[in-house]
Structure 1
Amino acid sequence: MKRNHLIHKTYLFIILLSFFNLSCTSQHENQSSSYPAVSEPTGNDLGKRNAMLWEHEDWDLNNPSWKDNPFDLVATVSFEHQNSNASHTTEMFYRGDNTWGFRFTGTHLGQWNFTTISNDPDLNGYYGSIIVRHNSNPNLAGFMTNIGNKFALQTTDTETLRPYLFNAYMNQQSFEESGFVGNWTDTQDTSIYLQDAKEHGFDTILFAINNSWFEFGSSGWDEHNSVNPDIETFEILENLIINTHRQGGRVHLWAWGDEERRWTPIGVGCNRLTRFLESCDGGINGEADRRLQRYIAARLGPLPGWTMNYGFDLQEWVSEEQTGRWADYLREHMGWPHLLWARGRFNSNLSVASYSGMGHTYEDAVSNLEADPTRPHIFEERDLYLREDFHTMDWTRQHLWRYTLAGGHGGFWGVGLDDDAKPYPNPEQLRTHQQFWLEEKRFLFAMRPANSLVTTGDGYVLKIPSNANYVVYQEDTDVIRVDLSEMQGEQLAIAVNTKNEYDEIDLGILEPGQQTLELPEVSDWAIAVGKFNQ
């Protein structure tokens, strides 16, 4: 009996052990199916690799047989997400030395499969896959887009967005080269420039390119004879964009400048005798310009973290229709979204309405946002500190707040190159604006102006339709009276002195009704009512 009992126990142990092994094997197989192993390239199979959300991946293919202009060879790559309808199609770009590259940034988690298509057999028929995983970098966001007239950043995928306030920054006193990428080198780091911007409450830095698109270091079209994109310029540009993006910043590009200094594409692709003739085959949206636009789309298009303005003083040299065709062609060739605009031009193909002129008012901002609620708006003439007599520290701080309180109108700030240009004396005031709105997540897509709720003096209010969140702002006061009769129940309230380093003063819990908010001193105050940062 004891022997039989022992045998039964042994059989039971073997069965349990087999079940345990089977279970472990099944779990391992499930994990493997969720996270396929990386595979090496073989033949036309470029293998399988891992990638992180919002970080790009590059591939290179050798093609020694191509004999014509390498920048005219067309090869496309289509990326398709295995578990959704998401897809991205991009072109390859010439790197030099008979090498063509292509790149990809994942916009959804999971597996993406890709194939290449080209009439050139050396670039046709390649395939592979990428497994995109969650990115643990908290600073990293995806591509910039918009919800109506508000700027937005992609977060966990293309459909999940957070509101953003677009305020570009430049500092030509400390970073003279920031005004022109042709003064930059591939060994320079954007970290110091970006850190300077962040210390002033901004995270978007400017670079202008002009004719360095065609020859590195050239500003005017009369300084070169190139008709092909300059590879050195693009190597520097992509490094600027990638490094800035990884640090939680963004790069704003000025493609061109003014025609008075020849900072335009007008003479590109024309010989010296025909540059000023209308019959020239080059110029704006001409053969060389289109070649450049395709190259921008292929090389920079897959990279998140940049926006582009066509140029400035555009009334001198380019029409509404031409800027619209430029934006449409770029968008047609880019597989990822980027906001494109042109200062003082409002063609419907432009993603953002950009305005010339300095010293715009709150009323200007509200009027712009209300007139065209389909796209964001920005004042881009550069309201640099002391550029004009009215550009004081107080004016800068107050208009930074007023443009936001208009509903999220963009602006352009910083320090110029003039000999009498000086740094901002109180950068902490600008940092306070950034922390109040973006870091504390108080700027919301649904917010609309409701200034009539301030019952004494001139004040500003943004609120959401449900009346659960308010921001109240008033200048030169120590008492704010505001009508919160329609507020959704009791809400927490805090006050921030916008002239100081960011510091919250607890105002306690407010009940619906007329409120008189007494503050510690006369200053410019912002009051946040409701639960934010969720």
Structure 2
Amino acid sequence: VEVRPNPGGKGFVTALGGKWGWSGSGRAFVPQLVMYAGPADYHNKPKKIDADIETYLVGHGFNGFHTIVCCRWFDINEERSTRIKGPAPNPDPRTFEALELLIGKVHSAGGMVHIWAWGDESRRQTPVRLGGKNGLADLRLQRYIAARLGPIPGWTMGYGYDLDEWVARKDLDIWHRHMHAQLGWPHLLGGRSVGPNRYRRGAKFPQIYEGLDYSGYEQHQPTYEAYVAALAARPKRPSFSEDRFRVRKPSPYPKKDYTEELTRRGLWHSTMAGGVANIWGKYVRRGQKTTFQPYDHPEWIKTNALFFKGRFVKDMIRDNQITDGVCLRRPTGEHFVFYKEGAESIRMDLSKMPGSRRAVAVDALKPYREIDLGELRPENQTWKAPQKSDWAVAVGEFRK
């Protein structure tokens, strides 16, 4: 086997300090993922995956899928441990075939896949009754994951959800160390900790185990301030608001679920805070069947994605002192991104900018269109918007 470099490839999902990034290009991005089906739904269905990539990645602007496996590792058709035969089952090759197909296609389209290995023990979606966490069957499964998925770039893995109810620090420690000892290739592994569900100033951001590759939290409708606090809690590794932010009608959890407007603003808040990953989704549930649906306003999501293409840079820092909205800027002072909601104007103090720079404005509530603001001088100034809306302004020539 001859190994050759692929200078045009994105590579593996990696950590660029506290930001998410690609190992091949070295460029930062914010995982804005959409909920996806389980392995049985896309096994041997390349056309379905292609169509969903076209709908959600191309049409909406999401940059990846989120898929949950649970006990389908052992039988692609069975989610729960109570339906798995034997105390030490073997992995199901069909599940790996499905994941390989999905990850390969999404990565080729420029995106990533985030996998939840397990679910919740109260729903019997874990290995607890199949020999235990890190038991014989689980360790064998981990070796399978390393062998089959390890060489494939473009995926990350979370341990599951509601982990505070069934997972201890030592469980994640053993899993994390064993997985990385087997993988041979770099993949980010994490585990969602509880809360803070509703952020208040001074709230703690606990972790079950501090040795994981990213920090995962269960937050409900996090605000811009909550995203900032999550990043500040552990600034040296990427952060993931790892609940699922769902639009559901009727909603079983109205204080937790989202509207499309909350979704739109959440995309901007999580990026402008400094880059926190999220999982989004819209679906209808009838009985036990969940049907995922496109958003009514895909242009809102797409506008966010197109605006930040090339404009979310790994060395960007928050600097809200220079605006009456929020701001990300590069330390060189040559590149700025401003954002303000319900705005008729945005104050931008560009007095430390080394010379005039071209600027564009984008209305976050409309299909993507750049309004050329010409060259802005290095001075404190206020831009007047053509109408009241949620506005973003980019100052400087960014590399797309």
| Alignment TM-score, normalising by the size of structure 1 | 0.67
Distance 1:320 1:477, change over 3 A: same
- 5+ residue gaps, structure 1, are 1-128, 171-177, 269-281
CA distance in 1, matches of 2:11, 2:74: 29
Q: Deviations along 1:341-365, whole A, 9 cap, x unmatched?
A: 1111442321111111321111111
- Specify the alignment match of 2:20 in structure 1: 151
Query: Counterpart of 2:240 in 1: which secondary structure?
Result: strand
Match of 1:428 in 2: 299
CA distance in 2, matches of 1:405, 1:533: 18
Q: Which of 28, 34, 41 in structure 2 is aligned with 1:163?
A: 28
What is residue 204 of structure 1 aligned with on the other side? 64
2:285 to 411, 414, 418: 418
Separation in structure 1 between the aligned mates of residue 386 and residue 151 of structure 2, nearest angstrom: 50
Contact 1:182–1:218 (8 Å) recurs in 2: no
Shift of 1:385: 2.0
Deviates more, 1:381-390 or 1:419-428: 419-428
**What does residue 326 of structure 2 align with?**
460
**How far apart are 1:227 and its partner, in Å?**
2.2
Mapped partners of 1:186, 1:421: distance in 2 = 19
1:470 aligns with 2:336: yes
Whole-Å separation in 2 of the counterparts to 1:133 and 1:312: 37
User: Counterpart amino acid of 1:202?
Assistant: F
Counterpart residue number, 2:244: 382
Q: Residues 133 and 354 of structure 1: is their aligned pair in 2 closer, same or farther, counting only changes over 3 Å? A: closer
> CA separation in 1, counterparts of 2:388 and 2:170?
50
Q: Is 1:356 the counterpart of 2:218 in the alignment?
A: yes
CA distance in 2, matches of 1:493, 1:380: 34
Gap regions ≥5 residues in structure 2: 194-206
Task: Give 2:122's aligned amino acid.
Answer: E
Equivalent residue for 2:50? Answer: 191
1:393 and 2:264 matched: no
Amino acid in the other structure paired with 2:311: R
Give 1:228's aligned residue.
Answer: 90
Contact 1:144–1:151 (8 Å) recurs in 2:
yes
For 1:293-312, what aligned pairs fall within 5 Å after superposition? 293-312=142-161
Q: 2: CA distance between counterparts of 1:220 and 1:132?
A: 42
For residues 83-162 of structure 1, the aligned pairs below 5 Å read 129-132=1-4, 134=6, 140-155=9-24, 160-162=25-27
**In 1, distance between residues paired with 2:170 and 2:44?**
36
Aligned pairs for 1:325-344 within 5 A: 325-344=174-193
**1:442 aligned residue (286, 297, 311):** 311
Q: Cα–Cα, structure 1 residues 181 and 400, in superposed 2: closer, same or farther, change >3 Å?
A: same
Equivalence for 2:320: 451
Q: Which residue of 1 aligns with 2:125?
A: 263
How far 1:301 sits from its partner (Å)? Answer: 0.4
The alignment yields a C-alpha RMSD, in angstroms, of 1.9
Q: Partner residue of 1:287?
A: 136
Equivalent pair of 2:43/2:94 in contact (CA under 8 Å): no
Inter-partner Cα distance in structure 2 for 1:131 and 1:383: 41
User: Which structure exhibits the higher relative contact order, with contacts defined as CA atoms closer than 8 Å and separated by 6 or more residues?
Assistant: 2
For the residue of structure 2 that corresponds to 1:222, the secondary structure is helix
Of all paired residues, the percent bearing the same amino acid is 39
Pair 1:499-2:365 in alignment: yes
The aligned residue for residue 162 of structure 2 is 313
Q: 1:360 to 1:131 in 2, by over 3 A?
A: closer
Residue range with higher mean Cα deviation, 142-151 or 380-389: 380-389
Cα distance change of structure 1 residues 317 and 300 upon mapping to structure 2, 3 Å threshold:
same
* 1:238 aligned onto 2:100: yes
* Equivalent-residue separation in structure 1 for 2:332 and 2:308 (angstroms): 19
Contact map agreement 1:180 1:207 (CA 8 A) in 2:
yes
The amino acid across from 2:232 in the alignment is: E
Partner AA of 1:283 in structure 2: G
Q: CA deviation at 1:180?
A: 2.0
> Matched residues in 2 for 1:506 and 1:529: separation?
11
1:133–1:259 distance in 2 versus 1, CA, 3 Å: closer
Aligned counterpart, 1:481: 347
What amino acid maps onto 2:280 in structure 1? W
Q: Are residue 403 (structure 1) and residue 270 (structure 2) matched?
A: yes
Q: Give the conservation status (yes or no) of the 8 Å contact 1:346–1:353.
A: no
On the 8 A contact 1:384/1:414 being kept in 2, the answer is yes
Offset of residue 424 of structure 1: 2.3
Structure 1 distance, partners of 2:278, 2:6, is 33
| CA apart distance, 1:333 | 1.0
Inter-CA distance 421–285: structure 2 relative to 1 (3 Å threshold): closer
State the AA in 2 paired with 1:394: E
Per the alignment, residue 391 of structure 2 pairs with 525
Taking the aligned partners of 2:111 and 2:347, their CA distance within structure 1 comes to: 38
Higher radius of gyration, 1 or 2: 1
AA matched with 1:338: H
Question: Are the equivalent residues in 2 in contact too, given 1:328–1:349 (CA < 8 A)?
Answer: no
Alpha-carbon distance, 1:478 to partner: 2.0
Amino acid at match of 1:161: G
Q: CA deviation at 1:423?
A: 4.5
Aligned residue type for 1:145: T
Contact 2:43 2:97 in 1 (8 A): no
What is the distance in 2 between the residues matched to 1:132 and 1:466? Answer: 35
Structure-2 separation of matches of 1:412 and 1:251: 11
In the alignment, which residue of structure 2 is the partner of 1:322?
A: 171
* Residue 74 of structure 2, aligned match among 199, 204, 214: 214
Alignment of 1:248-259 (within 5 A): 248-259=110-121
User: Whole-Å Cα distance in 2 between the matches of residues 380 and 366 of structure 1?
Assistant: 15
Deviation at 1:188, TM superposition (A): 4.3
**Matched AA of 2:285:** D
Q: Do the aligned residues in 2 keep the contact of 1:194 with 1:203 (CA within 8 Å)?
A: no
1:259, distance to aligned residue in structure 2 (A): 0.9
- Structure 2 residue matching 1:257: 3-state secondary structure: coil
C-alpha separation in 2, matches of 1:244 and 1:133: 21
